[in-house]
Every structure is written in C-alpha cells, then in structure tokens.
Amino acid sequence: MKVLLVGNGGREHAIARALVRTSTPEHPVALVVQAGNPALEQLGRSLTMDPLDPGDVVRRATSENVDLVVVGPEAPLVAGVADAVLDYGIPVFGPTKGAARLEASKSFAKEIMADAGVATARSFTCTTMEEVSAAFDELGAPHVVKDDALAAGKGVVVTSDRNEALAHGLACLAREGGRVLVEDYLDGPEISLFCVCDGATVVPLAPAQDYKRLGDGDAGPNTGGMGSYSPLTWAPQDLTEQVVTTIAQPVVDEMARRGSTFIGLLYCGLALTGQGLRVVEFNVRFGDPETQAVLARLTSPLAGLLHAAATGRLHEAR
Ligand code: GLY
C-alpha cells in the first residue's frame, strides 16, 4: 500500500515508524512523507508540500498515485484537506472540515456531547466579558477558561487567580469572532484514548497519559504535552470499553445522524473524576506526544487499520 503522510512533526514520525514497522511481506507499505524532518525523511520518499493547501496535497496524492492519505495535524483537516482528497476519490484517514469542528470549536463539541448524552463539564459559552465574569461567579474557582477556536495548545488556562482567568478570557474575545468557554473544573487524572473510526465502527487503541504542565513536579502553565506514557497500569480495567460505549460510539453516531460522518481518529481527552469519566476535550487527530507512546506498542498492521477506516471497513478489522 502506498501512503502519503501529511505533517512532519514528532507525531508524524511516530505514525510513519509504526506504519513501516507493522507492515508485513504480504502487505508492504511504501511511504511518501512531507519534507522538512530528517528523521521522517529516512522512512519514505520525501516531497515538499504545503499541508494547509488542499490543492497541493491533492496534486501530490494524485501524482504519486497513493492508495491512502493520512493527515497528522489538525490544521490541514480544518483547512479542508480531507474534503479535497475525497473529491478525487482517494481514501483519506482524517475527518472532513465539517467533522473536524469537534476539535475546531469547543462549543460545537459541547453541543454534540449534549445531544449524544455524553458526560462532560458544565460550561458556558461567552461572547462578552460580562458573561465570562458571571460564569466565574456561577462555577467558582479553579477557573477553566478555553478559547473556543484552535489555539495550538495555548487556548486553555486553569487557574484560581480570577485576574489571570479574566485576562485569558479577554485575550480570546479580542480575536475576531472570539468566543470563550468557561467550564467547571474536573478534578481527577487525565487520560487520552485514541479511537479509530470509519463513520460507524469504533476501534480503540491503548490508553495513554501525557504530562501537561511545563515544569517538573507538574508545575507551570499547561502545554500541549511535554511527554507521555502507556500503558496506564493504574486505570480501571474496563476503561477502554467504558469510553467506547458511553463516549466515542455515541459521538460517532450523533455525527452520522447529522450527516457529518466522522472518519479518522477521535481523540478522547478524559478526566477520571470522583463522579466517573468526563470528557475534557475532543481532538480529531492523533495526540502529540501520546502517539509516540501508543503506536510504539502497536503490533497489528497500522496501514491496514487506517485504510479500513478510510474505506468504511473497520468492522472487518475489529
Ligand atoms: N497531547 C494533547 C494533544 O495532542 O492535544
């Protein structure tokens, strides 16, 4: 199978490594990768490509005659890369722009969770500082303030300092069309579970945890993740089954019901609270750096799994 991998960070290197390592002589994998990362370039033929330009990605996919396009980061998905590749009839692992709203708009994700009956933190979507302030009064500290839109890992502030929380709210609202979510604080360890989806069937990978805070001893501001590990020996035995049954499958079904079929990786960011599992966030792509830990443990062929998802045949792979 010939695979074009979009994106060239550490996450894409981990995906590429797993694609190559889990290939078999009967099902070999040839990789075409995005130039710019010397480690990634060792794993396949490299091409320069603008990952945010759907037309450019389509040109590469068609000229290379690939069987599958795998999109690593969220920005190309939000830019419509999957839609453009699908228009050319090439299977793509990654959601359309519409389905990528599960990550691109936190208020949209909340709406889907409400309709799908998925447990998450109580929240207010605010467009003015008066609303932000009222939400702080209602929910109390610690304050959880999230930019509604994509913010490259810098959109979330969790603090008991009301002035700091207000300043973040103000910064988010200052952007054109800015909206901010103020949420209840979810107390408990966080877990990331990756679910491979074909629009109907959900296949979970192994749970992982990332280290969110910048400094040693869990100190400093939140980041996109400073490192990660898997397996989670302390997590409940039925964690994965619980997440699939009560979170991932209902969300995939709700997206299908709305005509916005979700194909790709549904990253369930969860908190294990005293009241049970709660969704912290969804992402629509492999997590970084959890992918580095999770895919290193995978033994079954990754290319076959992602191709089955992209072509609606995941029930055969389960
Ligand atoms: N590690 C968090 C993320 O990938 O968004």
Q: What is the pLDDT of residues 5-46, one digit of tens each?
A: 999 999 999 999 999 999 999 999 999 999 999 999 999 999
**How far is Cα 80 from Cα 83, in angstroms, rounded to an integer?**
5
Average pLDDT over the chain reads 96
pLDDT digits (tens, 9 = 90+) for 252-263: 999 999 999 999
Give how far Cα 117 sits from Cα of 60, 204, 247, Å.
Answer: 41, 20, 8
Label residue 177 by pLDDT band (50, 70, 90): confident
| Phi, psi for residue 210 in degrees, rounded to 5 | -110, 160
**How far is Cα 56 from Cα 53, in angstroms, rounded to an integer?**
5
Q: Among 35-49, 64-78, 140-154, where is mean pLDDT lowest?
A: 140-154
**How far is Cα 79 from Cα 81, in angstroms, rounded to an integer?**
6
pLDDT digits (tens, 9 = 90+) for 278-312: 999 999 999 999 999 999 999 999 999 999 999 99
Is 291 a pocket residue for ligand 1 (Cβ < 6 Å)?
Answer: no
What is the best residue among 280, 290, 294 to mutate for testing ligand 1's pocket, by most ligand atoms within 8 Å of CB? 290
Going by CA atoms, what residue is nearest to atom 3 of ligand 1? 287
List Cβ neighbours of 292 (8 Å cut-off, separation of 6 or more).
Answer: 10, 11, 14, 228
Please give the structure tokens belonging to residue 238: 């039925």
Is 72 a pocket residue for ligand 1 (Cβ < 6 Å)?
Answer: no
Quote the longest CA-to-CA distance of the chain: 62
CA 60 / ligand 1 centre spacing (Å): 27
At residue 207, does pLDDT exceed 90? yes
The pLDDT of residue 252 is 98
Using DSSP's 3-state secondary structure scheme, residue 31 falls into strand
- Region 161-185 average pLDDT: 94
pTM of the model: 0.96
Is 103 a pocket residue for ligand 1 (Cβ < 6 Å)?
Answer: no
Please give the structure tokens belonging to residue 136: 């702080």
Please give the structure tokens belonging to residue 3: 């695979």
The pLDDT of residue 51 is 98
What is the best residue among 77, 146, 156, 192 to mutate for testing ligand 1's pocket, by most ligand atoms within 8 Å of CB? 192
**How far is Cα 259 from Cα 269, in angstroms, rounded to an integer?**
24
Q: Which of 175, 202, 210, 220 is nearest to 280 (CA)?
A: 210
- Asked if residues 43 and 5 have their Cβ atoms less than 8 Å apart, the reply is no
pLDDT digits (tens, 9 = 90+) for 86-137: 999 999 999 999 999 999 999 999 999 999 999 999 999 999 999 999 999 9
**How far is Cα 212 from Cα 186, in angstroms, rounded to an integer?**
15
CA 303 / ligand 1 centre spacing (Å): 22
- Region 173-180 average pLDDT: 91
pLDDT digits (tens, 9 = 90+) for 208-228: 999 988 999 888 888 888 999
At residue 154, does pLDDT exceed 80? no
List Cβ neighbours of 69 (8 Å cut-off, separation of 6 or more).
Answer: 3, 4, 6, 57, 61, 81, 82, 85, 90, 91, 92, 93, 94
The pLDDT of residue 317 is 78
228: part of which helix (H) or strand (E)?
Answer: strand 228-229
- Asked if residues 302 and 19 have their Cβ atoms less than 8 Å apart, the reply is yes
Which one-letter amino acid corresponds to residue 99? A
**How far is Cα 78 from Cα 83, in angstroms, rounded to an integer?**
10
**How far is Cα 193 from Cα 243, in angstroms, rounded to an integer?**
8
